[in-house]
Amino acid sequence: MTLRLTNTLSRAKELFTPLIDRRVSIYCCGVTVYDLCHLGHARSYIVWDVLRRYLSWPGQIGGAYAVTFVQNFTDIDDKILNRAAEQGLAMEEVSERNIDAYFQDMDALNIQRADSMPRATACLDSIRALIAELEHKGAAYSADGDVYFSVMKQAGYGKLSGRDLSEQQEGASGRTSGAEDARKHHPFDFALWKGAKLGEPSFPSPWGPGRPGWHIECSAMVRQELGDTIDIHLGGADLIFPHHENEIAQSEAASGKPLARYWLHNGMVNVGGEKMSKSLGNFTTIRALLGSGVSPMTLRLFVLQAHYRKPLDFTLEGLEAAASGWKGLAGALDVGRKHQELLGWRSSPPDPASPPSEALRPLRDRFRDAMDDDLNTAVALGELFELARPLRALANRLRIGELPSEADRALESRWQLLVQLAGVLGLEPDRQQGGSGQESGGGGELPALVEGTSRAAAPAGLGDAAIEALVEQRKAAKAARDFASADRLRDQLKDQGIELVDKPGGVTVWLRG
């Protein structure tokens, strides 16, 4: 069995075969940079990051794919203009700030940067050329400085979203504008070029000064960066209609070829059963969450425990569960590096393309089968927990000063496989140190989570000698059966972030939080 993906075009799982053997071209719809990213964006880019990592994984049946991943920034749009006006900034300043913030947030989440990240304002030549071509072919018409795409001229319009235009309730979302409607031949026609209103930033064009419509930039960028037909097109489920439908219409009207062979869409992040979105105001920004002490890997785990196509309800309880789960996984992932010398394990990871040992192969295969089945990360994670169990136990024993046995040393290849497979999901313990969020960036108020145990544990705290002394005092108290004093000393140390572990034989070890 090899990779199968649910294609929105067919609404079925299809065997994935790229256009060119072992190469995959991917376009992912990026963000409109008028504000900070929230957890909905985080989910989307986490799951697509996993898709990309999985395709690039040499342990893949048939070997790694060479992936080309393109993602855009929409840096011209009404919302950016509005934001700029509110804040007294130039449009470019608003988008520049938010692009910086985007990279900070996504880097913190260990999301690999795309190979190419075109901005709409830097692709105007391609955009204008595409519009001109559509107009020339009769698929578009201009009206008062605007240019519209004529949906009725495009056979198959609606094929992605499964819509029959005659049965749609026009304006059902309550967001249509009267002035624009008057210029359109058909209510579902959409703007390729919008003539500039007075005082707005604009770019020259054969139709007068203005700016591109939202959908056209993606069509132009795909063509410019990847060609007429790509393998995979990604985006949130909320983009299926109209955005992706319109992309298809534009691109296919121009080229006469299919725009993308596989269309993948991720489910929404919900809050209390409702979609998290800017307009509803129920969003939490990524940096607000990371700033509250949630580790990036906890968020990753939280997202990947659900299937990417299903809605995911964001709750504090769910996040706490993910934090506990991550603690265990992280312990297992760290063990080889933290105790490398003690265990006598190699530092360099084995070649991921080489097959694991007989004993580990079933685990690797189940992981791969799960991922092949439309990226079933929930099951894949289950396998990771399975792999991690004895390593976690080992980590805990080493943590309290026990020495490894021969059987423990033999876990090396298991550890290496775990590190490798966790890496396919982008789960890396050394990335867990906080996010980028120092600025108080928007979003809802979050109660501090229980998680951040390792938060700046009093650098000027107790020295080793002082701790030893207190531990000795407690030992004496215990010997005198003065348990009240012993417990007080233990609590006192705990307040300083020092954990005491009593082992059999009256030995007490202490650990800094």
Q: Which of 26, 276, 398, 470 lies at the binding interface for RNA (CB under 7 A)?
A: 276
Task: Verify binding: residue 190, RNA, rule CB under 7 A.
Answer: yes
Question: Which residue stretch of 18-26, 349-357, 394-402, 412-420 sits at the interface with RNA (rule: CB under 7 A)?
Answer: 394-402
Cβ-contact 45, 106 below 8 angstroms = yes
Can you tell me which of 7, 9, 16, 44 binds RNA, judged by CB under 7 A?
A: 44
Cα–Cα distance measured from residue 64 to residue 54, given in angstroms and rounded to the nearest whole number: 8
Smallest gap from Cβ 93 to RNA, in A, equals 19
Query: Near RNA by CB under 7 A, which window of 102-110, 261-269, 418-426, 459-467?
Result: 261-269
Distance CA 305, CA 299 (A): 10
Q: Which is nearer to RNA, 117 or 256 (CB)?
A: 117
The 3-state DSSP class for residue 152 equals helix
> 365, 373, 412, 428: which one contacts RNA (CB under 7 A)?
373
- Judged by beta carbon, residue 154 or residue 266, the one nearer RNA is 266
**Binding of residue 490 to RNA (CB under 7 A):** yes
- Minimum CB separation from RNA for residue 23, in Å? 24
Residue number with CB closer to RNA (279 or 354):
279
Distance CA 435, CA 290 (A): 5
Retrieve residue 182's tokens. Answer: 């008057």
The residue (of 303 and 419) whose beta carbon lies closer to RNA is 303
Query: Binders of RNA among 200-219, rule CB under 7 A?
Result: 214
Question: Which residue's CB is nearer to RNA, number 351 or number 482?
Answer: 482
Distances (CA, A) of 97 to 94, 265, 329: 5, 28, 35
Contact 125, 203 (CB under 8 A): no
Residue closest to 295 by CA, chosen among 315, 323, 259, 269: 323
Question: Binding RNA by CB under 7 A: which of 268, 297, 411, 470?
Answer: 268
Q: Does residue 365 touch RNA according to CB under 7 A? A: no
Q: Which residue, 71, 229, 235, is CA-closest to 161?
A: 235
- Supply the DSSP symbol for 479: H
C-alpha pair distances (Å), 64 with each of 60, 141, 259, 452:
6, 45, 24, 37
Question: Is 40 one of the binding residues for RNA (CB under 7 A)?
Answer: yes
Phi, psi (deg, nearest 5) at residue 421: -70, -35
Which of 296, 303, 295 lies closest to 276, judged by CA? 303
Q: CB-wise, 347 or 481, nearer to RNA?
A: 481
Give the shortest CB-63-to-RNA separation in angstroms: 25
Which amino acid type is present at position 199? G
**What gap in Å lies between CA 326 and CA 319, rounded to an integer?**
10
Residues 127-186 that bind RNA (CB under 7 A): 161-164, 167-176, 181, 184
Please count the residues of this chain forming the interface with RNA, following the rule CB under 7 A: 94
Residues from 297 through 326 that contact RNA (CB under 7 A): 305-307, 310-313, 315, 317-318, 320-322, 324-325
Cα 134 from chain centroid (whole Å): 35
State which residue, 236 or 293, has the beta carbon closest to RNA: 236
Shortest Cβ distance from residue 255 to RNA (Å)? 22
Give least dist CB 4 to RNA, A.
11
The span of 102-110, 192-200, 285-293, 377-385 binding RNA (CB under 7 A) equals 377-385
Q: Does 188 bind RNA (CB under 7 A)?
A: yes
Binding flag, residue 266, RNA (CB under 7 A)? yes
For the CA atoms of the chain, what is the radius of gyration?
27
Tokens of 292: 């509250």
Of 4, 202, 385, 444, the one binding RNA (CB under 7 A) is 385
**Dihedral in degrees, nearest 10, Cα atoms 46, 51, 56, 61:** 140
Q: Smallest distance from the beta carbon of 159 to RNA, in angstroms?
A: 11
Reduce the DSSP state of residue 435 to 3 states and report it: coil
Is the CB of residue 354 less than 8 Å from the CB of residue 63? no
Q: Minimal distance in Å, beta carbon 48 to RNA?
A: 8
Which residue of 9, 31, 36, 421 would you call a contact of RNA, by CB under 7 A?
31
Q: Is 71 in the site for RNA (CB under 7 A)?
A: no
Contacting RNA within 339-358 (CB under 7 A): none
Least CB distance to RNA at residue 351 (A): 27
Distance CA 15, CA 407 (A): 41
Among 145, 201, 382, 452, binds RNA (CB under 7 A): 382
Which of 333/351 has CB closer to RNA?
333
Q: Does position 263 bind RNA by CB under 7 A?
A: no
Residue 210: beta bridge partners?
195, 203
In the complex, what is the shortest distance from the CB of residue 353 to RNA, in angstroms, rounded to a whole number?
Answer: 26
Q: Which of 3, 7, 24, 32 binds RNA (CB under 7 A)?
A: 32
Nearer to RNA, 132 or 379 (CB): 379
Dump the DSSP string for 261-311. EEEEEEPPEEETTEE--TTTT---BHHHHHHTT--HHHHHHHHHTS-TTS-
426 alpha-carbon distance from chain centroid? 10
State which of positions 431-450 bind RNA (CB under 7 A).
none
Q: How far is CA 26 from CA 49, 62, 66, 67, 116, in A?
A: 11, 19, 11, 7, 11
The one-letter amino acid code at 405 reads S
